[in-house]
Each structure stands twice: as structure tokens, then as C-alpha cells.
């Protein structure tokens, strides 16, 4: 009898345990599925990009596409060399880094090494606000303020659309990315390193630039790469400020076209679906995606490979 009761409770508790296991398993499954969504989305995007750009590569050789220096899919005679778009993108993203790296890195060094706690508490949220301004506002600002009031007085030959104004505002836009990530990297350097340097009579500047910065270099480089990747993919500000003239030039005062701006031009215009012009937008998207993918993977690699580990 007693045995029977014990057996029953044992069976019941086994049942309860298996129920709990099942619930755990279910939750695991749901969470796993959620994680898969982003993976599948990425694969889905890659699939669509490749699939939709294939019709273009039936007409245009990969070699012509990647090495041609004229980009006029919407004009006669048509020409499909993507280099002017890559050049335009590089001009804007490179220019943006010229603005963002010195400012962002100095801000990070100040916040991490110099600023008293109270200042830090005030400045950091302001930087985050910078990241929260809609990019269309930056673009409009570049077009109606930066170009006529800053660039044209300095360089009268500046065109109404130009790469420089776009680079300037995109640079400001990515400052928070750099300063925030660099700040994290700098603060992760152990205090003992600083103290050892101070003990050897180093000044604060020497500690910051010779000890802390080199120790955090992998994080700093990764931050710069991520900012570059963000600048490459930036669309709205560039569409408004830099223009729609695909041109192989390094002159930042001229109107250029970035890869993102071209995709916008095709998406918004009357370009009929199924035509080769339509498929070029996917081809450009594929190149854009590959570039940002390589940069992001590179940034991850640098973080892993060159991370200084202090125990």
C-alpha cells in the first residue's frame, strides 16, 4: 500500500518534471526561432539581391560592371560601370571619417580620461541625441545651410549639390558611433596600467595617448570601421545633399552620386519593373551589401585578433 503511494508520487513527480522539461524545451524553441529570424532575413536579402541582379549580369559582364568608368543605365547610350558610384560613396564616407575620427576620438578620450563624472553624465546623453536626429534632417541641413552658408563663401565654385556638404553632415552623424564605442574601449583598459604610468611620472596626456590609446587600439579601429560602414550605407542625407550625377571624380565640391542614392533614384522613379535598369538597382545593392559586410566582418576580426587581454 505504502509502496503503491510512493510509486504514485514518484510517477507524478516524473510527470511534472517531464512537463517542465517540455516547457523549457518550448521556450528554447521560441527563443531559437526568434534568433533565426535575423539570420533568415539576412539570407533572404542576399538571395533576393543575387536573384534579382542576375538578369542584369546576363546583359552586362561582371567585368564591365565592376571596372567600367561610366554609369548611365538611365541615359542613352547606356553604360554599366559601377566605379563612379563606388567613387562617390568613398568620397562621402571618407570625407565623413575625416570629420568624425578626430572629433569622435577626442571626445572619447576626454570623456574617458579627463571628464569629471558629472560632466560625463551630461555630455554622453547629448551625444546620444546626435545619434537620434533623423537623417533626412541632416540632409536638408546640408542642402539649405551648409552648402550656401559655409561652403560657397569659402569655395565659390561649389555646386549646389556636392559631396563635401554630405560628407560633413554624415561625419557629424557618425560621431556618436565613434565616441561611444571608443569610450567603451578606453574605459576597458585596466586602471592599474594608468597608475603604473603615473607612478613613472607620466603626464595625463602621455597616459592617454601613449598608454591607454594603444592598449585600446583594437576597439578604436573597430569603432572607426563600423562608423565607415554606417557612412557607406547612409542614404537620405546623401540623396538630398550630394546629388544624382554619377561621376568619377575626387573633387568634393562637385555633384556626385552614391550607390545608395542610385537605388533611391530607381526606386522612386518611373523605372518599370523587369527592365535592365530596374535590375541594376539590385546589382548596386549587392555591391553595397558586400562592401559593408566585409567591413563589419573586418571590424569583428580586429576586435578578436588584436584584443589585449589583461588578467
* Residue ranges in contact with another protein by CB under 8 A: 70-72, 74-77, 148, 152, 157, 159-161, 243-247, 255, 265, 269-271
Is the preceding peptide bond at 77 cis, omega within 30 degrees of 0? yes
Cell of 235: 542614404
CB of 144 to another protein, least distance (A): 10
Residue with cell string 602621455: 206
Render the burial of 105-138: b for 16+ CB within 10 Å, e for the rest.
bebbbbbbbebeeeeeeeebeebeeeeeeebeeb
CB of 229 to another protein, least distance (A): 28
Cell of 288: 553595397
Region at 275 (left for phi over 0; alpha for psi -120 to 50; beta for the rest) = beta
In the complex with another protein, which residue's Cβ is closer, 27 or 75? Answer: 75
CB of 81 to another protein, least distance (A): 11
How many beta carbons lie within 10 A of that of residue 26, not counting itself? Answer: 10
In the complex with another protein, which residue's Cβ is closer, 4 or 77? Answer: 77
In the complex with another protein, which residue's Cβ is closer, 79 or 296? Answer: 79
Is the preceding peptide bond at 195 cis, omega within 30 degrees of 0? no
CB of 284 to another protein, least distance (A): 16
CB of 273 to another protein, least distance (A): 14
CB of 256 to another protein, least distance (A): 10
For 28, 32, 96, the CA distances from 18, given in Å and listed in that order, are 15, 20, 58
Residue with cell string 570601421: 225
Phi, psi dihedrals of residue 302, rounded to the nearest 5°: -60, -40
DSSP state of 111: I
In the complex with another protein, which residue's Cβ is closer, 90 or 241? Answer: 241
Q: 3-state DSSP call for residue 70? A: coil
In the complex with another protein, which residue's Cβ is closer, 147 or 229? Answer: 147
Q: 3-state DSSP call for residue 71? A: strand
In the complex with another protein, which residue's Cβ is closer, 69 or 121? Answer: 69
CB of 102 to another protein, least distance (A): 31
DSSP state of 177: H
CB of 55 to another protein, least distance (A): 20
In the complex with another protein, which residue's Cβ is closer, 71 or 228? Answer: 71
In the complex with another protein, which residue's Cβ is closer, 226 or 261? Answer: 261
Distance CA 171, CA 174 (A): 5
Distance CA 279, CA 73 (A): 10
Amino acid at each position: 500500500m505504502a509502496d503503491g503511494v510512493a510509486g504514485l508520487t514518484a510517477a507524478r513527480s516524473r510527470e511534472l518534471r517531464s512537463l517542465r522539461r517540455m516547457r523549457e524545451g518550448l521556450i528554447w524553441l521560441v527563443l531559437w526561432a526568434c534568433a533565426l529570424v535575423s539570420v533568415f532575413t539576412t539570407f533572404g536579402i542576399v538571395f533576393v539581391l543575387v536573384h534579382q541582379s542576375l538578369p542584369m549580369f546576363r546583359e552586362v559582364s561582371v567585368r564591365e560592371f565592376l571596372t567600367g568608368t561610366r554609369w548611365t543605365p538611365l541615359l542613352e547610350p547606356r553604360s554599366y560601370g559601377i566605379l563612379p558610384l563606388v567613387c562617390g560613396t568613398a568620397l562621402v564616407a571618407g570625407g565623413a571619417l575625416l570629420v568624425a575620427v578626430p572629433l569622435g576620438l577626442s571626445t572619447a578620450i576626454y570623456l574617458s580620461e579627463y571628464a569629471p563624472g558629472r560632466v560625463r553624465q551630461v555630455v554622453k546623453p547629448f551625444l546620444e541625441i546626435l545619434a537620434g536626429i533623423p537623417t533626412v534632417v541632416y540632409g536638408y541641413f546640408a542642402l539649405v545651410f551648409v552648402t550656401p552658408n559655409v561652403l560657397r563663401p569659402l569655395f565659390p565654385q561649389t555646386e549646389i549639390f556636392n559631396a563635401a556638404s554630405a560628407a560633413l553632415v554624415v561625419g557629424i552623424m557618425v560621431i556618436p558611433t565613434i565616441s561611444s564605442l571608443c569610450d567603451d574601449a578606453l574605459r576597458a583598459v585596466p586602471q592599474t596600467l594608468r597608475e603604473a604610468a603615473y607612478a613613472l611620472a607620466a603626464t595625463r596626456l602621455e597616459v592617454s595617448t601613449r598608454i591607454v590609446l594603444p592598449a585600446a587600439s583594437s576597439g578604436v579601429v573597430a569603432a572607426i570601421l563600423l562608423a565607415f560602414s554606417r557612412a557607406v550605407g547612409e542614404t537620405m542625407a546623401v540623396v538630398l545633399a550630394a546629388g544624382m550625377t554619377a561621376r568619377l571624380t575626387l573633387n568634393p565640391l562637385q555633384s556626385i552620386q552614391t550607390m545608395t542614392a542610385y537605388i533611391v533614384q530607381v526606386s522612386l522613379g518611373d523605372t518599370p519593373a523587369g527592365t535592365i535598369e530596374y535590375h541594376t538597382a539590385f546589382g548596386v545593392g549587392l555591391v553595397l551589401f558586400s562592401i559593408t559586410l566585409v567591413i563589419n566582418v573586418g571590424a569583428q576580426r580586429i576586435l578578436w585578433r588584436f584584443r589585449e587581454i589583461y588578467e
